[in-house]
Amino acid sequence: MDKFRDCGDIKKDLRYLYTVQFWVFLVSRNANRGERKSRERERGAMAEDLVLDTAIRDWVLIPLSVVMVLIGVLRYFVSKLMRSAQIPDAKLVKEGQVIVRARNLRAAANFIPPKSFRARRLYYSNEENGLLYVPKGQAPNAQAQMFSDPNMAMDMMKKNLSMIIPQTLTFAWVNFFFSGFVAAKIPFPLTQRFRAMLQNGIDLSTVDVSYVSSRSWYFLNLFGLRGLFSIILGEENATDDTQRMMQMTGFGFDPTKSLGAEKDGLDIVQHDWTMPKFERRAEAVLRKLVR
Amino acid sequence: MAVHDESETSGRKESEEIDVPIFSAENMQSNMKVIYYSRTFMSIIGGVIAGILGFTGLTGFVIYFLVMAITSIGLIAKTGFSIHSYFTGWSQIILDGFLGGLMSFVLFWTFAYDIVHIF
């Protein structure tokens, strides 16, 4: 006869397995209980008003919202940590500052005497060594270099992934656990066309379109919690659109175009010195005081 | 909302004879942020109120516009009724971010309505 094997390890594994199964069972049991009750009542009273099980509120609505808020906060902190490891490129920063200076000159052009304004403008748009002047041959090179720069590509990938992965995971989780029953009622009526979009787990066609599945509750949370995040997490955070991501990557890619745009803007400015008018205004104010 | 203070910064000087408005861009941005935070917060509160009181359908959206109007009036009162030293015009303080809080409003409206009336 063989010796008995040592059962100590197996006990630990079994304990772990039972714990996991218990939680899965608990969640799915509560979800199913809600589904059964709502289905019974639906068959009984084909009326407008469904009474849904309290368990749905306890185990679906609130946990889903809490989880989404927590994931948003987590994503914010993770992106902050990952971003701090990035060292900005010296050349890019210099060009950015030059653009800012040129823009300030353009905005405040009317407050300096004409001669000094022209001197400054020449400094920027001089053909030989002006700061804003870029010969045509260099422009496409800079762009190609930006594209093939591995750091930039990695950065974009990281930002994209850090937004898409939590959304995909949460959506898969919602679909797996919380499908097949009525989750919430939207307080306003919708047309029949929304039925396919909002009620995809529910297979009854006589239920009011206002009764939606948990998938639509997930999307409602996704859009509605953005405002909450902007209040909780302070300034604008990465939980918003992909538009800002596009903007940021776009800025890095074409500094030469913005230089050219600044130079054109500077050339267009008509200088209109406001000092004489300010003297008149000061005179008017003083007269009022004296009177 | 411990992140920002409610004060609006006056950053705009205008001379009476000529049209050379001098804006302090940083102050203007801060003012717009104050408006945005106020509207978001009020739309969340308005959503919870509408849900608890049980408004459905069109009445709920009327409540949203009412809450937005009250927010506008509150902001105007905060500037001491002299808008032009804080903003560039009426359209900025009244219409800006009007529909931005709609999704948050609907979310919290649905949430409160379901918790109180359905479950």
Nearest to B105 by CA among B36, B49, B38, B35: B49
A233 & A103 share domain: yes
Stronger pLDDT, A220 or A47, i.e. the higher one: A220
Q: Are residues A33 and A134 in the same domain?
A: no
User: What would the two tokens of residue A101 be?
Assistant: 């200076």
Pair A103, A232 in one domain: yes
The structure's pTM equals 0.67
The answer to whether A30 contacts chain B (CB < 8 Å) is no
* Domain shared by A202 and A135, yes or no: yes
Residue A20 domain-assigned (yes or no) = yes
Nearest to A186 by CA among B48, B62, B56: B56
**pLDDT, mean over chain B:** 78
Looking at the fold, whether A39 and A66 belong to one and the same domain comes out as: no
- Please check whether residues A30 and A157 belong to one and the same domain: no
Over residues A167-182, the mean pLDDT reads 85
Query: Would A280 be classed as within a structural domain?
Result: no
Judge whether A291 lies within some domain. Answer: no
In angstroms, how far is CA A49 from the centroid of its own chain?
37
CA separation, residue A102 to residues A122, A128, A257, B12 (Å): 11, 17, 14, 22
CB atoms closer than 10 angstroms to residue A218: 21
More confident of the two residues B59 and A190 = B59
Asked if A276 has any chain B CB less than 8 Å from its own CB, the reply is no
How confident is residue B98, by pLDDT bands cut at 50, 70 and 90? confident
Where is mean pLDDT largest: A79-83, B67-71, B115-119?
B67-71
pLDDT category of residue B47 using cuts at 50, 70 and 90: very high
Q: Average the pLDDT over B39-45 and give the result.
A: 91
Same domain, yes or no: A36 and A175: no
User: Smallest Cα–Cα separation from A204: which of A41, A57, A61?
Assistant: A41
Residue A65 contacts residue B104 (beta carbons within 8 Å): no
pLDDT at A44 over 60: no
The mean pLDDT of A73-94, rounded to a whole number, is: 75
- Map residue B90 onto helix, strand or coil: helix
- Which residue range forms the structural domain that includes residue A123? 55-271
Residues of B within an 8 Å Cβ radius of A? 1, 3-4, 15-18, 20, 36-37, 40-41, 43-44, 50-51, 55-58, 60-61, 100-101, 103-104, 106-111, 113-115, 118-119
Q: What confidence tens digit (pLDDT) does each residue in A237-263 have? A: 554 554 444 444 444 445 566 777 777
- State residue B64's pLDDT score: 92
Judged by average pLDDT, the poorest of A63-77, A140-154, A225-239, B98-112 is A140-154
pLDDT, tens digit (0-9, with 9 covering 90-100), for B23-34: 677 888 888 888
pLDDT value of residue A273:
77
Averaged pLDDT, A87-108: 76
Q: How many domains does chain A have?
A: 2
E-assigned strands of chain A? Answer: 184-185, 211-212
A126 domain-assigned: yes
Provide the token pair at A76: 């914010």
Q: Which residues contact B83 (CB under 8 A, 6 or more apart)?
A: B76, B89, B90, B93
- Residue A286 in any domain: the answer is no
Confirm whether A213 is domain-assigned: yes
Reported confidence tier of residue B1, pLDDT bands at 50, 70, 90: very low
How many pairs of residues across A and B have Cβ atoms under 8 Å apart?
89
Whether residue A7 lies inside any domain: the answer is no
Pair A181, A80 in one domain = yes
In a domain, A154, yes or no: yes
Residues A150 and A257 in one domain: yes
Residues 6+ apart with CB under 8 A from A231: B1, B3, B37, B40, B41
Q: Which residues of chain B are within 8 Å of residue A63 when distances are taken between CB atoms?
A: none
- Which of A50, A187, A280 faces B60 most closely, judged by CB atoms? A187
Single out the residue of B28, B33, B31 nearest to residue B12, CA to CA. B28
- A203 and A77 share one domain: yes
Which segment, A1-10, B55-64, B76-85, is predicted with the most confidence on average?
Answer: B55-64
CA distance B75 to B43: 14
pLDDT at B105: 92
Q: Same domain, yes or no, for A211 and A111?
A: yes
One domain for residues A180 and A137: yes
